[in-house]
Structure formats: C-alpha cells, structure tokens
Amino acid sequence: MKIKILLLAPYRGLKELALSLASEQTDLDITVKEGDLEEALAIYKHLENEKFDIIISRGGTANLLRDHVPQPVVEIPLSGFDLLRTLTLVKDYKGKLEMVAFPNICDDVIAVSHLMGIDIPYTVIHEELQVEGIIRQAKKKGVQVIVGDTVTIRLAKKHGLQGVLITSGRESVIEAFHHAKQVYQVLLQANKKYRAYEALLHELEEGIAMADEQGRISFSNPGFRRFMQLFGEPGETANPSLVELFPDWMSMVQTVNENKKAISYVNIGGRQLQWTLGIFEEDRHRRLYYVRIKSLRDAEDELEIKYAQPPVHSFTQILGSAREGKKAIEQAKKAAAEHLITLYGEEGTGKKYIAGAIHGSLEPKNDWFIELTVKEGTPGALSRLTDALSGIENGTVYLKGLEKFDELSQAAISRWLERQPNKVIMSFKESPEVMLDKGAVGQELYELISKHSVYIPSLRERMEDLDEYIRYFIGKCNEKYGKQIVGIRNDVLERMSEYAWKGNLEELEQMVDSFVRISKGHYIENDVLSLIPSDTGKSASRSGTVEIDIHQTLEEIEQEIIQRVLAEEKMNQSRAAKRLGITRATLWRKLKETKNG
C-alpha cells in the first residue's frame, strides 16, 4: 500500500520540480498542488476527504499547515546547494538589497552568508500580515531587491521592487520524500499503540473522555457514555457539553489551569460519583482536558493491583547493623523457602523491602512482583482478589489488608492461598496473635499466617542505624534533586535521634527529602531544626507498646528488651540500667555475656 502524500508547493517552479520527481517514487502516491500560506490551507481543506497520510510543503506555508492540519507536516529543507545558488546569484549585485523571510529560511541563509563573507541586511517575519509593512519600509530606505520566500517576493513586485526567490533544488525535494517515508513508519508504530490504548479504554468500567475548555467532548469511551445516561443523556448518539452536566465545570477548569488537577463529586440517582479533571495536552491555540468519572464503589476502590519492581532485590541491599534488624533478616532468609510467609510490624518499617529481598532470592527467578492491596473487605474485593490470584503465573504476590475481610471471607481466602502455586508474602501491622485476640482475623486465617511469621522491628528499636539510613536517603534525594549534600550537622542528627518516628522509615525518608530539597549548601544545616516535630522517642516509647517475639528463649527476650532500652536511651548505659532496675555493672556483664555468646 502506497503512502498518500499531499505536496503543497508555494511557487510554480517547485510544483513542476515535484511533479517530475514524483514518478520516481514508486512507494508514494503523491498529489502536487500549488498554493502559498492561506491559499495552501484552503487547498488542503478542499482535499481533506482524500485522507492523506503526510503533508509536504516549505517555509512559512509549512509552519502555517502544522498549526491547522492533523497530519504530520514534512518541510522541504533548504540544502547547502540551495543557499549557495541564491547567494552566488546576489553577491555581486550593485543595487541595495535586503532579505525578508520566515525564521526557518532566514537563519540558514544568514549563517551561510557569514561563512562566505557576504553581508546581507535582513528582517525576520513571523506571519504574513507583517510582510507588506516591512516591504514599504525597505522601499523607503532605498532597497531595490528583496530576497526571500514566495509571499515576500509577491509583495515586493506589487510595490515595484525586484525579487529573488530562494528556491529549493532537486536534492531538497528528494530529501523531503525520504523524510516523509521515515515519518510514516513512525506514524504506523504510533497508530498501533493508539489502537491498543483505544481498545484498553473501551474495556474500562471507568469513564474516560477528552474535552476542551468549553466542555465540548472530542472523545469518550463506552464507560463514560454509560455514566452520561445517568444524567438523562442518550450517551451513544450525542456528545453533550460538560458545562451543562457539571455546574462547576468552569471553576474546575480554572483550578486545573492553576494546579494541574482537580477532583469533584456529584450524586446522581443515588450514586456517588467522583470525577477528576486534568490537562491532557496543550499548545498555543488550546488546551485539551481529560475527564475521569467513576463510582466510589468501583473495583479499584476495593482492591488495588500493581505490577511493580520491588525496592530492593537482595538481602545485601538492606541497610543496618542493629541486632533487631539483623535478626529479622535472618528469620526472613529462613522463611524465604516457604510457600506462604507473613511479615508484620508497624507502618513504614520496610516490610516491602524484606518482601523484595525474598522475591530476589528465589531460584528460579519469579517474573513478577505483584502488590495486591485490599482497601475494603467487600464481596467485590473478594471476587476480584481470587480472580487476580488465579491469573498470576510465576510471580511473587505481596498481599496487604486481609484483616479487612470478615471471618467467612478470610476462611475462603485461606483455602485459596493454600492452593496458590505462587509465593505469597502477607503483610500486617500487628502480630497474628494480637489480631486474633482483637478479632481482626479468624481462626483459619490465623493458623495460616502464624506458621512462618517474621517481625519487622520499628525504627525506634534500631536507632543505632539512624545515621546510616539518613545517609542512604540523602544519596537518593541528591539524585532526585540534583544536589550534592554530603552530610548532616550533629545538632540535627541528635534532634532526629530523639524523635518518636511513628511513621518509621517512610517518615524518615519524607523528612530527609524535605531537608535536602530546601538545603542550599553541602550539609543539612541547623536551620531545619524547626521542621522536626517535638514528639520524642522517649515519651512515645514509654507511653506506647512494642512487639516482643514470645517464641524466643527467655535469654533472647531479655537481650531484646535490653537492646531496645539502650536504643531509646541513645546507648547511654547508666540511664538504661536505671530504667531496667539493675546496676550498671550488671548491665555491662549481661552485654558482655551476649557478645561472648
């Protein structure tokens, strides 16, 4: 199948040249017409139904067409031969001359003329309306010859001046044909992707549409048209104005123009709908907005599915030398061979990092790391969860939120998980025992998740690693913001070591991110101290509770308590001994016994 091309030649000579070369292009179906600027645009509109693939023109005409036609516009370039021919023609001219042209022609001619040592006065034009005034001014200055493009030469002759047209030669037209073929191949690939995306949009339950600032819809998927029926619109046969459907449309557009995104809610027929508005694309003529409409009971509000790369791929990437952290890693390594694994600990402790390391340690390697997050324990979420688990092949599933289901649903899920061929890593904020006591999990799910469980300690329990984590996050943020922060002042580090860190590593990363973002020098200075909340780890740890693994020996439990108290007291043995109700000598002896053991 030949590529359909419309070549709009701004002058007769280019038209004749293009016609003579068109027959040599066996894989192109070329229509050649003569027309400059607005005249060329009118010709295109007259032939619009011919469904051309590519448009070819040159100079200001090419620029004008780009702003008004949907097809790619390939410009006939000015070759070095074209410029040399024109400059050779005018260099010995005795009369006063001036070049008047659009930027894409003017810049190239000036560059070559400087290399040849030819001084040509010039004026750059940006639209056709400027030309006549510039020609009049040139005539008043005594200019006799105008060098330029077709529109310039035409108006120069109208005002009694001579004109020298910068023409395009054979090699330039052939180059444009070759470029058109390349553009068409890119266009074919883009169209394949477009059709795939369009098919995907048609399958979505969520409503998706494109509209301009006045709410005129240019595209909508079936999901969007179904939502339109809730408003009493026919949906399949009409594209109503969104200004009529959403009374706050214009205020939403204003919000989007300022903040890039806006969300609003509307209640129709007893259904609560959320609609999101954002900028899809914009140019100097208009903005196009995307509109998303969904019911707040849509599936993605019940279960979130992500195919993602884990944050780490091996246990060696997990930082820290604290005893509690190292113990969790060792337990996770042992559990990695199991089919079902439970990780539990406070929010933000890095459970996903451990899950990623388990995923990376598998032999043979699993292809996918799939995050399934239960947001609401509804029948719809249960159905979607079982469908998702059934459709996963050769992957590691990182599953959160099972405690949100009722006991009957949990029992059904437990049976599903036991039959799963994939490795499933379940994540909880509390231990299986605590959740069973609270009634958050039933007996069947408890028995499943308590078999191979690993406790991930809070940041408060491994404060000796705080400095290492801070430096790691500084490195990440340097890359993110293009900074060169090399460290943190001691006063800031001390204040951070006293903070409660209820959000654990996630909260620490967010705080370091904000520090790096605002820091100007090579260190995080004391001026960030005011940004650190006053809630201290000491008060938080005494007023709250912490998890203790009761499956350890009595000696291990004792050592765990000692290490936690030492961490909370910033490794001050005198204060730690006082809190533990023992002498400093007894504490020293117990620490030495552990070290020797």
Mean pLDDT score across all residues of the chain: 84
Contact present, 340 and 473 (Cβ < 8 Å): no
Specify the range with the lowest mean pLDDT, choosing from 74-78, 215-219, 281-285, 479-483: 281-285
Identify the three-state secondary structure at position 33: strand
Q: What local confidence, expressed as pLDDT, does residue 540 receive? A: 42
Residue scoring higher pLDDT (424 or 566): 424
Contact present, 120 and 68 (Cβ < 8 Å): no
Q: What local confidence, expressed as pLDDT, does residue 269 receive? A: 57
Residue 555 has pLDDT above 50, yes or no: yes
Topology given in CATH for the domain delimited by 3-77+177-185: Rossmann fold (3.40.50)
In tens, the pLDDT along 232-242 reads 554 444 556 78
Residue scoring higher pLDDT (302 or 123): 123
CATH of 204-296, one of 3.10.129.10, 1.10.3720.10, 3.30.450.20, 3.40.718.10: 3.30.450.20
The architecture (CATH level 2) of 552-596 comes to Orthogonal Bundle (1.10)
Domain extents in the chain = 3-77+177-185, 80-167, 204-296, 303-457, 460-540, 552-596
Res. 543 pLDDT band, cuts 50 70 90: very low
What letter does residue 532 receive in the DSSP assignment? S
- Structural tokens at position 8: 């709009």
Residues 6+ apart with CB under 8 A from 75: 56, 57, 58, 59, 62, 104, 176
Res. 106 pLDDT band, cuts 50 70 90: confident
Cis previous bond, 364, omega within 30: yes
Model confidence pTM above 0.75: no
Residues 6+ apart with CB under 8 A from 480: 513, 516
Q: What local confidence, expressed as pLDDT, does residue 306 receive? A: 81
Assess whether the region 3-77+177-185 and the region 552-596 belong to the same CATH fold: no
Topology given in CATH for the domain delimited by 303-457: Rossmann fold (3.40.50)
Contact present, 17 and 173 (Cβ < 8 Å): yes
| φ, ψ of residue 320 in degrees (nearest 5) | 110, 145
**CA dihedral (306, 311, 316, 322) positive or negative:** negative
Contact present, 255 and 262 (Cβ < 8 Å): yes
Q: Order of strands, edge to edge, in the sheet holding 287-295?
A: 217-220, 207-211, 287-295, 271-282, 261-268
- Structural tokens at position 398: 């990182």
Residue 346 has pLDDT above 60, yes or no: yes
Cα distance between residue 587 and residue 576, in whole Å = 8
Cα distance between residue 138 and residue 241, in whole Å = 51
Q: What local confidence, expressed as pLDDT, does residue 87 receive? A: 81
Q: What local confidence, expressed as pLDDT, does residue 108 receive? A: 77
Q: What local confidence, expressed as pLDDT, does residue 116 receive? A: 75
Contact present, 584 and 574 (Cβ < 8 Å): yes
Q: What DSSP string runs through 92-123?
A: T--S-EEEEE-HHHHHHHHHHHHHTT----EE
Give the pLDDT mean for 504-524.
93
Give the pLDDT mean for 444-472.
94
Cα distance between residue 59 and residue 103, in whole Å = 9
CATH number of 80-167: 3.40.50.10660
Residue scoring higher pLDDT (336 or 166): 336
Q: Assign domain 460-540 to a CATH class.
A: mainly alpha
- Structural tokens at position 308: 């993602």
Cα distance between residue 332 and residue 330, in whole Å = 5
Integer angstrom CA distances of residue 516 from 348, 492, 495, 502, 509:
20, 13, 17, 21, 10
